[in-house]
Amino acid sequence: MEDAKKNALLRTLPSIDELLSRPSLAALLAPLPRPLSLAALRRAVEGARARLLRGEEAGFQDDDVRAALAELSKPNLRPVFNATGVVLHTNLGRAPLAARAAERVREIAVSYSNLEYDLDEGERGSRYAPVVGLLVELTGAEDAVVVNNNAAAVLLVLASLCAGREAIVSRGELVEIGGGFRIPEVMRQSGALLVEVGTTNRTRPGDYAAAIGPQTGLLVKVHRSNFAVVGFTEEATARELSSLGRERGVPLFEDLGSGCLVMMAAEGLTSEPTVKSAISAGADVVTFSGDKLLGGPQAGIIVGKKELLAKVRKHSLNRAVRVDKMTVAGLEATLELYRDGRLDELPVYRLLVQRPEELQRRAERLWEALAEKGVSTRVVATVSQVGGGAMPLAEPRSYACALGCRSPQALHELLRAGSPPVVARVAEEQLLLDVRCLTEDDVAPVAQAVAAATRDSSC
């Protein structure tokens, strides 16, 4: 469009005042609070202006206001389709809850509950009492405490058991978990004094033994959840450290990171230590996340010896990092699924143990649904990821629909802005839609969203 025509069209854009009194919009705007009307009108006019500047000829229409209003009333936090192939994607909310757990959360969220009320005695109780029995049963530990997340669990354990005293850690385990959570900094904040032993690649039990002194409060072991050290390596096992600790009267604390309650064996997965194995190897206190491999709500779970957990429970920080009732509800329902052997109801478990043939069939169905809408893709083999700092070396085989495109980034941007948004992966000039984290029911709406985005992009 030539500039003169474009400018003429831009001059036809209505003013906000004019729109406020436009009879055709009166019914739509009348029930709305004025700030919302204004926001919708501004957004609608801006949208129309952007269209004209892009060279499209459609000027302002009343429907622009309806669309703007729909856009404005969408919640900021909303469901997305995860086509990244990363099962525990921290940016996408990690573990999706089991349906039963979500139902329990809803039930407890909308009503009063016995969260801190002992119904037998009619007096105050503990908020995580509902899950202690299950955690003890599933991990073999003596006792359990639940806090807001595992970062808080690590901080609380160190603050309650090691403030002002020395915590001995291998240099090979002074890790950054992500989001700036660095073990040495957490130690400093807890008041524990860090004593580093060994080297990045090799630390022996003797290194810990030599560092134990009158000021030692804990031996600390941190699971290398998001990386691996290979080659010329050596590491003291939990069993070795716990027997050393017992000999010298120093408890062993292990941060397992993800921590899983059962072995998850499937094609392409590696083994992640179970909480039970850490406890039976002799760890006195173990912490792990609720929303990583466990597949529950965000939580930090602390299990271990009764007398140590009594100190953890009493520490004033415990109040600052306490769990919400919805967390307790979701966690209890999730743990019940483990107790009852109903693992296939846990989304994280289901997503991880899918067979490649199953994934290939789903990718073919997505390919077909896209083809029906005129979008041509290729089904390609991919490797998805466990994510969430678990099984860093796992290479679960998966399949994706690959969409060749001049600007896959621009297409991805449109997909993310869609409704519902689709988050995918861009690799080598292609947009990859990995089907691992998409259900059968997701295939049709994802195809719909991709078709709409390709229409709007110059793909």
Ligand X SMILES: *Cc1c(COP(=O)(O)O)cnc(C)c1O
CB 47 within 8 A of CB 67: yes
Q: Which residue is nearest to ligand X (CB)?
A: 257
Peptide bond into 420 cis (omega under 30): yes
Q: How far is the CB of 74 from ligand X (least distance, A)?
A: 28
Task: Pick from 37, 150, 274, 454 the residue near ligand X by CB under 6 A.
Answer: 150
By CB under 6 A, tell whether 223 contacts ligand X: yes
Angle subtended at Cα 356 by Cα 354 and Cα 359, rounded to the nearest 5 degrees: 75
Spatial separation of the C-alpha atoms in residues 41 and 436, rounded to whole Å: 41
By CB under 6 A, tell whether 127 contacts ligand X: no
| Options 47-55, 252-260, 341-349, 379-387: segment touching ligand X (CB under 6 A) | 252-260
Provide the 8-state DSSP code for 122.
Answer: T
By CB under 6 A, tell whether 330 contacts ligand X: no
Query: What is the chain's percent helix, strand, coil content, to nearest 5?
Result: 45, 20, 35
**Side-chain-side CA neighbours of residue 439 (13 Å):** 6
| Options 65-73, 148-156, 273-281, 422-430: segment touching ligand X (CB under 6 A) | 148-156
- Stated as kind and residue range, the H or E segment containing 280 is helix 275-280
Q: How far is the CB of 290 from ligand X (least distance, A)?
A: 7
Burial of 350 (0-12, 13-18, 19+ CB in 10 A): middle
- C-alpha distances (whole Å) from 63 to each of 39, 58, 307 are 15, 12, 66
Give the residue with the Cβ less far from ligand X, 198 or 300. Answer: 300
Give the residue with the Cβ less far from ligand X, 294 or 308. Answer: 294
Give the residue with the Cβ less far from ligand X, 252 or 370. Answer: 252
By CB under 6 A, tell whether 86 contacts ligand X: no
By CB under 6 A, tell whether 225 contacts ligand X: yes
By CB under 6 A, tell whether 173 contacts ligand X: no
By CB under 6 A, tell whether 327 contacts ligand X: no
Spatial neighbors of 236 by CB under 8 A, at least 6 apart, are 170, 203, 204, 205, 207, 208, 221
| Options 29-37, 150-158, 187-195, 331-339: segment touching ligand X (CB under 6 A) | 150-158
By CB under 6 A, tell whether 82 contacts ligand X: no
By CB under 6 A, tell whether 170 contacts ligand X: no
Task: Pick from 101, 177, 293, 422 the residue near ligand X by CB under 6 A.
Answer: 177
Angle, nearest 10°, between helix axes 99-109 and 325-339?
Answer: 150
Q: Of residues 384-443, which lie at the interface with ligand X (CB under 6 A)?
A: 389
Spatial separation of the C-alpha atoms in residues 211 and 197, rounded to whole Å: 7
By CB under 6 A, tell whether 95 contacts ligand X: no
- C-alpha distances (whole Å) from 346 to each of 119, 213, 277, 315, 356 are 30, 45, 21, 33, 19
Give the residue with the Cβ less far from ligand X, 151 or 162. Answer: 151
Task: Pick from 82, 139, 149, 318 the residue near ligand X by CB under 6 A.
Answer: 149
CB 386 within 8 A of CB 257: no
CB 404 within 8 A of CB 432: no
By CB under 6 A, tell whether 257 contacts ligand X: yes
Q: How far is the CB of 279 from ligand X (least distance, A)?
A: 17
CB 383 within 8 A of CB 432: no
Q: How far is the CB of 95 from ligand X (least distance, A)?
A: 11
Spatial separation of the C-alpha atoms in residues 263 and 261, rounded to whole Å: 7
Two structure tokens written together for 364: 């073919």
Task: Pick from 82, 289, 334, 457 the residue near ligand X by CB under 6 A.
Answer: 289
- Rounded to a whole number of angstroms, the CA Rg of the chain reads 27
Spatial separation of the C-alpha atoms in residues 46 and 64, rounded to whole Å: 10
Per-residue contact flags (x/-) with ligand X for residues 15 to 54, judged by CB under 6 A: ----------------------------------------
Give the residue with the Cβ less far from ligand X, 334 or 377. Answer: 334
Q: How far is the CB of 127 from ligand X (least distance, A)?
A: 18
Q: How far is the CB of 256 from ligand X (least distance, A)?
A: 7
| Options 61-69, 149-157, 207-215, 239-247: segment touching ligand X (CB under 6 A) | 149-157
Task: Pick from 172, 198, 217, 300 the residue near ligand X by CB under 6 A.
Answer: 300
By CB under 6 A, tell whether 362 contacts ligand X: no
Two structure tokens written together for 363: 């990718």
Interface ranges with ligand X (CB under 6 A): 149-151, 154, 177, 181, 222-223, 225, 255, 257-258, 289, 300, 389
